[in-house]
Amino acid sequence: MITPIQQRLLQRLSDGARHSGTMLGEHLGISRAAVWKQVQTLQESGIKIHSEQRQGYRLSSPVTLLDRVEVQSLLQQEIRARLPQIETIWSCDSTNSELMRRLREQEAATGSVLLTEYQSGGRGRRGKQWISPFGGSLYLSLLWRFSGGLMALSGLGIVVGIAMAQAVEQLGLNGAMLKWPNDLHYDDKKLGGVLIELEGESDGPTDVVIGVGLNVSLSDQSKQIDQPWTALEQHLKAPPTRNQLTAALLNRLLPLLDLFEKEGLAALMPEWEALDRVCDQPVVIHQEGKQIHGVARGIDPMGALKVESNGEIQRHYSGDVSLRLSTNRAA
């Protein structure tokens, strides 16, 4: 966890400028040596602070810190009324894990939103690590209750992916696409992803933690990512702040969740089809150690990917399936 004194240190460094150890010590009320120890602790936790001998300390670029009040001010009135708790925290293992703990301890209600500056154990689909540098991206989780059972939520990740694509388009990034089941891509590089976790009965009300990761800036830790990636700052002259991005996403997401609960994924098929990056493209499905080659043919109303292979249409559900575009795919 980031301590109060470390929070004050990061607030001062968030402008991206160089700050001497002496000046930081005066600001924090500690010695220059103590400043160095705090910096070391933050560095060891994974936060990239540049230490320059006799020059001071700096982050690689300025960071606009998360601000709950600003997020609320940017929400549409009817959306703001449905989100009783929007909380920003400095750090956690992952926003999904933290919100799931609060749900199980009855400390969070539907409509709770959790955002963090830094994740020490960010998670993606299939147990993969989600690289989560300090202030570099949007790490958001929303707790939402659905009245139907678990089966009625098949395809929910696709709905969230549509909301992500609509949000970044609203903020100026045209041409983002979705790779089944719920990865946001731009220029065939990953821009964002979704992690859905469920808690409920098969035929009763279900609580869902919807986790979203969207890359805003990842320059310091790009080498740790095992697939082509991109970030908003690489494509927009004036990329949105994470506060603006949060509000745009929530303004888009909640109406889509309502429509999905009332009418199912079928009501959103035109939106998906307009964003589907792999439709009619050669693909490879990786499942339980096997590879299945075929051509993607869209999805069905349950969110399953349809793949034409050997003259037959097979359906694949997200689960432990991994999808890749074939290297000999069409242009």
**Residue 288: CATH number of its domain:** 2.30.30.100
Indicate the number of domains in the chain.
3
Residue 28 has pLDDT above 90, yes or no: yes
User: Residues 32-61: pLDDT tens digits?
Assistant: 999 999 999 998 877 889 987 778 999 888
Whether 119 is in a domain gets the answer yes
Whether 220 is in a domain gets the answer yes
Say whether both 315 and 212 belong to one domain. no
> What mean pLDDT comes out for the span 151-158?
92
Whether 247 is in a domain gets the answer yes
Quote the pLDDT of residue 320: 66
> What mean pLDDT comes out for the span 13-42?
94
Say whether both 265 and 282 belong to one domain. no
Residue 174 has pLDDT above 80, yes or no: yes
Give me the percent of the chain exceeding a pLDDT of 70.
92
Task: Round the average pLDDT of the chain to a whole number and report it.
Answer: 90
Say whether both 266 and 282 belong to one domain. no
Tokens describing residue 50 = 């540049």
Say whether both 74 and 205 belong to one domain. yes
Say whether both 85 and 225 belong to one domain. yes
Q: Among all residues, which ones are annotated catalytic?
A: 125, 190, 324
Say whether both 102 and 15 belong to one domain. no
Say whether both 282 and 270 belong to one domain. no
Quote the pLDDT of residue 223: 56
Say whether both 171 and 23 belong to one domain. no
Say whether both 180 and 230 belong to one domain. yes
Whether 163 is in a domain gets the answer yes
Say whether both 270 and 284 belong to one domain. no
Whether 331 is in a domain gets the answer no
Whether 63 is in a domain gets the answer no
Q: Which range of residues forms the domain containing residue 282?
A: 278-325
Residue 304 has pLDDT above 70, yes or no: yes
Say whether both 50 and 192 belong to one domain. no
**Residue 56, CA atoms < 13 Å, CB-side half-sphere:** 16
Whether 33 is in a domain gets the answer yes
Give me the percent of the chain exceeding a pLDDT of 90.
71
Whether 8 is in a domain gets the answer yes
Reduced 3-state DSSP string for the chain: CCCHHHHHHHHHHCCCCCECHHHHHHHHCCCHHHHHHHHHHHHHCCCCCEEECCCEEECCCCCCCCCHHHHHHHCCHHHHCCCCEEEEEEEECCHHHHHHHHHHCCCCCCCEEEEEEEECCCECHHHCECCCCCCCEEEEEEEEEECCCHHHHCCHHHHHHHHHHHHHHHCCCCCCEEECCCEEEECCEEEEEEEEEEEECCCCCEEEEEEEEEECCCHHHHHHCCCCECCHHHCCCCCCCHHHHHHHHHHHHHHHHHHHHHHCHHHHHHHHHHHECCCCCEEEEEECCEEEEEEEEEECCCCCEEEEECCEEEEECCCCCEEEECCCCCC
User: Residues 277-299: pLDDT tens digits?
Assistant: 999 999 999 887 789 999 999 99
The CATH number given to whatever domain includes residue 12 is: 1.10.10.10
Out of 274, 294, 311, pick the residue that ends a domain. Answer: 274
The CATH number given to whatever domain includes residue 166 is: 3.30.930.10
Say whether both 105 and 202 belong to one domain. yes
Quote the pLDDT of residue 133: 81
